[in-house]
Amino acid sequence: MVAEVSTVELDAGFRGRSIRPGEAGYDEARAVFNGMVDKRPSLIVQPSGSTDVVDAVNYARRAGLPVAVRCGGHSVAGKSATDGGVLIDLRSLKGVHVDPVSRTAQCNAGVLWGEFDRETQVFGLATPGGRMTTTGVGGFTLGGGYGWLSPVHGLTCDNLISADVVTADGRVVTASEDVNPDLFWGIRGGGGNFGVVTSYRFQLHPVGPLVRAGLLIYSADEGEQVVRAWRDYVEQAPEELVTGLGMLLGPPEPFVPEHLHGKPVIGIFVLYVGDPDDGEDLVRPLTELGDLQANLVEPMPYAAFQAMIDPFAPAGMLNYWRGTHLTGLEDGTVDAFVRSGRQVPSPLTQLILFRHGGAVSRVPDEAMAASHREAAYMSHPLALWQDPDDTARHLQWVNECTEAMEPYLTGGIYLNFEPGDDETKVRAGYSADKFARLVEIKDAWDPENLFRENLNIRPSGTAA
């Protein structure tokens, strides 16, 4: 239900666009990536700058309405939207400025990762970002940010140097190691609980523009053998060789042999972060894990590799995901993974293993809110489908994948991939000590919980 339109008005100086229910563009503006989400805000604000964001936050506080923030709109839990609250839609806040000398980039909160990479790759630079070009920089970073580059260069939030934040009381503050360090600690993994971040400054690293990267395909008939051999190789390979392994139904594409169309296959994404020629020998063992069906690994632009998943995850599909951490891949873990992967229920649904460790595990755990750095792998079942009548079986498959891996999980979850928002799930995203510190930061920066349309960390003393 949409709340009654408040009699409170935005400040007279507001320069952006505001949209209310029934006005032109309302349905387009409230739509998000996950088609399961159908929320109706009482007001959508599309700011032209930070001052407009301040106006929107002040409006919501005066009206007694919760605030939701949208960057790319990819939150599988639907936290890029709100029923009855104020949606601050940051997509109009574009702009990336790259300093190739200091290897840093300043970007506004509406930038998508494809747009970010486009600007940084001019200089052969990058930072760990989303594995889809349409993912927003903002929510991805605040939730931690596991990307293809993470084993080499850490989480996205590890590379955050500073951020500008609009607080619940309508101030604009900077957060960094030296300025408001408690807030900076919290926003690096604590999500949007503490304010609206309007700009980010990132550390960049030499990557590309050309990299050796692409996709290898095996039949799932060899599942256990291929996954075990992949595990044995990647655990002793240099961290510059980044891979992720997924089980899915072979798409009816020219690069997939026809006899595998619609059949369970194993796809191995490969990225060598270095000179493409130097990576050829390192990639070769990944082509010898079994009877290789397709080899699409070659020198290509890094930006093209970043876009490889895009066609297989169109906006508006019904989505349900999970993200759980593994300390390792024992044979029993492999068997459970392959059994679940052979039951993939639809063409765009996948069960993925991401190899982590490396630079992620070298950052001291106490450095910021982002947690579970000890995990060596992440299990990521993600279901995408169109027919609402198929919802129950897709949710069941995703949850059964996670249950099958239960004996091998650390107990921690990756909140950016979490579809639920109950406090038990949110707590599982952090250690107990970190969660307690996040509550203290929430008490200091948002004691009334204005920013609660998220994977919420409630202030102390408030009811669930």
- What letter would DSSP give residue 313? S
CB 74 within 8 A of CB 93: no
List of E strands, 102-240 = 104-108, 125-126, 160-166, 172-176, 196-203, 205-206, 210-219
- Total-model pTM: 0.94
What integer pLDDT is reported at residue 2 of this predicted model?
Answer: 42
Check pLDDT > 50 for residue 25.
Answer: yes
What integer pLDDT is reported at residue 453 of this predicted model?
Answer: 94
Q: What is the CATH number of domain 17-92?
A: 3.30.43.10
Check pLDDT > 90 for residue 48.
Answer: yes
> pLDDT by residue (tens digit) across 267-284?
999 999 999 999 999 999
Check pLDDT > 60 for residue 205.
Answer: yes
Q: Name the residue among 140, 90, 88 with its Cα closest to residue 114.
A: 140
Kindly report the backbone phi and psi dihedral angles of residue 405, in degrees, each rounded to the nearest multiple of 5, phi listed first. -90, -5
Check pLDDT > 90 for residue 424.
Answer: no
Q: Name the residue among 28, 34, 73, 31 with its Cα closest to residue 317.
A: 34
What integer pLDDT is reported at residue 8 of this predicted model?
Answer: 62
Span 357-365, mean pLDDT? 95
Span 405-428, mean pLDDT? 88
Q: Which residue has the higher pLDDT, 155 or 327?
A: 155
DSSP 3-state percent helix, strand, coil across the chain (nearest 5): 30, 25, 45
> pLDDT by residue (tens digit) across 53-70?
999 999 999 999 999 999
- What letter would DSSP give residue 2? P
Residue 332 identity (one-letter amino acid): G
Average pLDDT, the chain: 95
Q: Which CATH class is domain 96-207+438-445?
A: alpha beta
Span 258-275, mean pLDDT? 97
Check pLDDT > 50 for residue 3.
Answer: no
Check pLDDT > 50 for residue 1.
Answer: no
CB 409 within 8 A of CB 325: yes
Kindly report the backbone phi and psi dihedral angles of residue 293, in degrees, each rounded to the nearest multiple of 5, phi listed first. -100, -25
CB 400 within 8 A of CB 379: no
- CA separation for the pair 402, 51 (Å, rounded): 44
Check pLDDT > 60 for residue 216.
Answer: yes
Q: CB within 8 A of 360, min separation 6: which ones?
A: 146, 150, 151, 154, 155, 158, 373
| Residue 435 structure tokens | 């969660």
- CA separation for the pair 400, 413 (Å, rounded): 16
Bridge pairing between strands 96-99 and 104-108: antiparallel
Q: CB within 8 A of 42, min separation 6: which ones?
A: 2, 3, 4, 5, 6, 20, 21, 65, 84, 85, 86
Task: Find the angle CA(44)-CA(450)-CA(187) to the nearest 5 degrees.
Answer: 95
- CA separation for the pair 397, 439 (Å, rounded): 34
Span 88-105, mean pLDDT? 98
Count of residues for the chain? Answer: 464
User: Alpha helix (H) ranges present in 64-201?
Assistant: 113-120, 137-142, 150-153, 181-187
- Residue spans per domain, the chain: 17-92, 96-207+438-445, 210-417
Q: Which CATH class is domain 210-417?
A: alpha beta
Q: How confident is the model at residue 6 (pLDDT cuts 50, 70, 90)?
A: low
* Phi-psi region at 177: left, alpha or beta (left = phi > 0; alpha = psi -120 to 50): alpha
